[in-house]
Structure 1
Amino acid sequence: MKKILIVEDDELLSSSSIDLLAHSFEVTKTEDGLTGLQLARQLQPNLIICKANMPHFGGYEVLQALCQSSITAKIPVILIVEKSDSDARRGFQMGANGYAIEKSKVSHLLEAIANNASLN
């Protein structure tokens, strides 16, 4: 079964996401970036979904660390962003493979996952 790691600090988003994704994927969830980075190295998930703006070690820092490590550099990352244009552009420039807007419907997140070639 394909593995997805969710790194975000909003219980509502992660609960609904996990419920939808758990039917098709093995889902692991954490609420902070440092633990997410450790889990990415340990689990080698097929995809990471990470909230961009979290306190302390946020999604942009996670993305940068993932891209700099040969162990995790090839793991696709979808960022959950607050605003589509500037936040998504920053994520793509840093190496993100996709994005979903934080306040949008979960269907947008599912679409970003479906568009990810590594999960097909």
Structure 2
Amino acid sequence: MIVRTLQEAEKSDRRIVSPDGNWESTRLLLKNDNMGYSFHITTIYAGADFHMHYKNHLESVYCISGEGEVETIADGKKYPITPGTLYNLNLHDEHYLRAFKELKLACVFNPPVTGKEVHNADGAYELLEE
């Protein structure tokens, strides 16, 4: 059994802060945990507005707190994000994520990330080996 607390993980190398200052993410489950997915608690800072396109991963995102929106680039649709909202990037959707108020999100990635990924120029994570 794997048991971790968010508070402990935030004090370890599982906490990643984006170089651009838009977000931070604590990775509670990673590829080497062998669960078939990774699980993160991510904070998107108020005022953040950035492009992402997970070409190599599927992601599900559940809003715990805050307020924002996700806009899909293919069709320009905007979806409000408030507590209780789940959005799923099931088509590797290229999108903008905006935080009107600080967002606290629970995120699941498939395939799982290793914990060393950073967003590339396209807003994607590359597939990395351990």
User: Which of the two has higher C-alpha Rg?
Assistant: 2
Question: What TM-score, normalized to structure 2?
Answer: 0.29
**Larger strand proportion of the pair:** 2
Higher RCO structure (Cα 8 Å, ≥6 apart): 2
**Larger helix proportion of the pair:** 1
